[in-house]
Amino acid sequence: MEKKYLVGIDGGSQSTKIVIFDLEGNIVGEAKEALRPNHLAEGVVVEHPGDDLWDAMCVASSKAMEQFGVRKESIVGIGLGTIRCCRVLMKKDGTLAQPVISWMDKRTSETYVHDNPDTQYVTSTNGYLATRLTGAFKDNIANHFGQWPVDYDTWDWSTDEEVLKQYNLPREMLLDPVKPGEQLGTISKEASEKTGFPEGLPVFATTGDKAVESLGAGLLQESTALVSLGTYICSVMVSKTMPPKDAVNYWGIMSSIPGLYLYEGYGIRRGMWTVSWFRDLLGEKISIRSGYQGISEEEYLNEQAANVPAGSDGLMTKLDWLANPWEPYKRGVMIGFNAHHDYRYMYRSILEGIAYSMRNNVVNMAEEAGREIEEIIVTGGGSNSDLLMQIFADVFNLPIKRNVVNGSASVGAAINAAVGLGIYETYEEAVEKMVKVKDVFTPKSENVAIYKRLNEEVYQNLTDYTDEVLKKTYKVLHPEG
C-alpha cells in the first residue's frame, strides 16, 4: 500500500518552516527559509518588508518539495499555520495593498483605520496566505482575537452592528470564516508553480502559532499545562469554555480544536533570547571549548552548569530584558554575586529564573481557574536541554514531558489536516497516533525543597525591592519621562 504524507506549515515571525510527516507523525522531510528583518519606523511601526511572508513560503516549500522528489505526489493534505495578531490589507485580487503589519506594530492593538484606498479586505496572515495558495478568499476564524469582530460562542464573525462599528470592519471587508480542520481550498495552478506543492492538494485551516503548537504538543487535558520555550515564553491550558472577562492571570483564545478554548497566561519577553544573549556574550572562549569537544555551545554550557548546585549558591536572575511599555523602568537583574560565581553559575541562574517565573505564572493561572495541574508539557528549542527540563521538574515539583518533535506547531497543523481529511475521526485519536513522548523528567526531592524555599521566600518578592531601585535609576536617566 502506498504511503501517504501530510504537510505542516509553520509560518513564524522569523522564518517559515515546511515539515512533511507520515501519518504516524514522523518527520520525513523539511525545509526552512528565514524572513528578512522587519521594517521599523517612528511611531512603533513594524512591517514585514515587501511580500516577505509569501516569498519565504514559496522558497521553503520549493526546497521541501524538491528534496521530497516524486514522493510529493503521495502528499494528501496541507495544514496552514501562521503567526497571529498581524494585520494584512489586501487588494481585490488577493495581493497586498501594503506590507504586512507585524504583531509588534502599535496599529494592531488599535481600531482599524481605512486609510489605504487600494484595500478591499482586512485579514490575518492565515487569510492572506490561504488566498495566495488557493485563490479562495477564506480565513481561519480561530486566528483572530483582539481588534477583530469575532463571536467566540459561534466561532464566526459577529453580526452585531455595534461590534462591527466598534472595530470599524464591515462584513464585506472580512473573508469567509473557516474553522480549524475545515478546508480553505486547494492549491491553485499558479501557487503550485511557485511553491512546488501539487496542484489540487487540499489546504486546511489551523490557528495562530501558540494554539496550533498546543495541539501539536498533545495538550488535551485540563490537568495539563503547556510551557512554550521560544523568544517569547508562555504558558497555556485547555478549557471547554472561554474565561470570565475579569480574569487577571490569563486570557482566552480559540484553540485548534473547534469548540475548545485555550487560557494563555503571562510569560517572559525575550525568554530564550536571554539564553542566546548570554551565550554570545561569552564569545570565543566558549566557542573554542565546545568546538574542541565536538559539541554545540549550548550543550557545553548545559554540561558545565549541571555541575552547579541547585539554587546557584544564591545567584538569582529576573528576566526583564525587554520592558513592557507601561513599565519602562524594568531591567534584567542578576543579584547575589560572590567571587566564585563564574559563567556556569550565571547560566544556571538564568535557567532557574525561567523556571521560577513560569512556575509562578502557571500556579497563578491554575489557582484562578480553579484547577490543579498534574503535569507540564514543555515545547520549543529550549526543551533540548536536559538540564533545563530537570530544573523545570524540580521547580514545578511535577513530571515534565518532552516530545520527540519539539517544534510542535507543524505537528498541530498536520493534525488539523489529518482530521479534516478523515484520516483520523477525532483529535484525540490523531494526537494519540501522531504525538510521541520522548521522555519524562521527574522531580528530585533534594532539589525540590531548595527551590521551593528560594522561590517562595525570595524570588517571588524580589522585584518588590529591585523595582524601587530601577524606578529611581530610570528617573535619573530619563528626567523628562
pLDDT tens, the chain, 481 aa long: 579 999 999 998 888 999 999 999 999 999 999 999 889 888 778 899 999 999 999 999 999 999 999 999 999 999 999 988 899 999 999 999 999 999 888 898 889 999 999 999 999 999 999 999 999 999 999 988 888 999 999 999 999 989 988 999 999 999 999 999 999 999 999 999 999 999 999 999 998 888 999 999 999 999 999 999 988 899 999 999 988 889 999 999 999 999 999 999 988 888 888 998 999 999 888 888 988 899 999 999 999 999 999 999 999 999 998 877 788 899 999 999 999 999 999 999 999 999 999 999 999 999 999 999 999 999 988 899 999 999 999 999 999 999 999 888 999 999 999 999 999 999 999 999 999 999 999 999 999 999 999 999 999 999 999 999 999 999 999 888 6
Residue 128: all three cell numbers together: 492572506
The count of other CB atoms within 10 Å of the CB of residue 281 is: 10
Residue 266: what pLDDT? 87
The three cell numbers of residue 32 are: 526552512
Q: What is the pLDDT of residue 1?
A: 52
Q: How many degrees, rounded to 5, is the angle at CA 41 between CA 131 and CA 55? A: 30
Distance of CA 363 to the CA centre of its chain: 20
Q: Domains plus CATH for the chain?
A: 5-209 (3.30.420.40)
| CB half-sphere exposure, 22, CA atoms < 13 A | 7
* Contacts by 318-321, CB closer than 8 A, 24 or more apart: 318/353, 318/462, 318/463, 318/466, 319/268, 319/270, 319/271, 319/274, 319/350, 319/353, 319/354, 319/357, 320/463, 321/269, 321/270, 321/273, 321/274, 321/277
